[in-house]
Amino acid sequence: MVAHRWRSLRSATGYPVLEAKPECIGIDDASPGALAGPVTSTEAEEFDRVFQSVYLTFHRRDRKRSELTAASRAVLTHLGLSGPVTIGEAAAHLNRAQSVVSDIVSQLEDKGLLEREADPADRRRTLVWLTPTGFDRLAADRRVLSTELLNPALAGLTDNERAGLFRGLRALLATPATQHRLAHQEDDPAPHPDREDER
């Protein structure tokens, strides 16, 4: 049943994020509680240089035909967050004509990314939702870095180096300044699916 699979798959296929932890942790060793010190502009600039190097080295290099269009991404993303809905409900949420969303759903269904099933609570209603393949494609589309490139690079680090790397990034995301920015930034507007995007 659609509803049952939604509960099980959605919990198992959430978008991966670095989990923010509130404790203050030193990046260079495994001991917690390192005291935070002042940060210079030079350190911020060095982090920016390292970050750019990491991105340029490990970013995804997919061919264009393997990428989702803006229309497909908008529909898949919405369904992944909302759970199974009718085409009419999806169109209303996305603020697009039902015929446009219906076309996109049909194309995604042909690709094995979406499926239609009767609503278990009302057999007169037909719900659309992501297939397991659809979840995998959406997760891959949202991935910024290539795991194929990262895996061998991370394998070249020691266990302590990998743990320190992740602790430092999590600590950066958990700082009050970062959390304040995340709490107050406006959500990016969702892309509107459009029939031209699917051509």
pLDDT, tens digit, for every residue of 9-64? 444 434 333 344 433 333 344 444 455 567 677 999 999 999 999 999 998 876 55
Asked if residue 35 is part of any domain, the answer here is no
What does the pLDDT read at residue 185? 65
pLDDT digits (tens, 9 = 90+) for 184-199: 765 544 445 554 444 3
Asked if residue 79 is part of any domain, the answer here is yes
pTM to 2 decimal places: 0.55
Asked if residue 83 is part of any domain, the answer here is yes
Asked if residue 180 is part of any domain, the answer here is no
Whether 113 and 131 have beta carbons less than 8 Å apart is answered as: yes
What does the pLDDT read at residue 26? 39
Rounded Cα gap, residues 40 and 53, in angstroms: 20
Asked if residue 155 is part of any domain, the answer here is no
Asked if residue 47 is part of any domain, the answer here is no
Pick from 82, 84, 115, 93: which is nearest to 190 by CA?
A: 93
Q: What residue numbers bound the domain in which 129 lies?
A: 63-149+191-199
Asked if residue 195 is part of any domain, the answer here is yes
CATH number at residue 107: 1.10.10.10
CA distances from 104 to 116, 134, 197 (A): 13, 14, 9
pLDDT digits (tens, 9 = 90+) for 100-141: 999 999 999 999 999 999 988 888 899 999 999 999 998 888
Asked if residue 87 is part of any domain, the answer here is yes
Domain count along the chain: 1
Whether 192 and 74 have beta carbons less than 8 Å apart is answered as: yes
Whether the CA torsion 114, 120, 122, 123 is positive or negative: it is positive
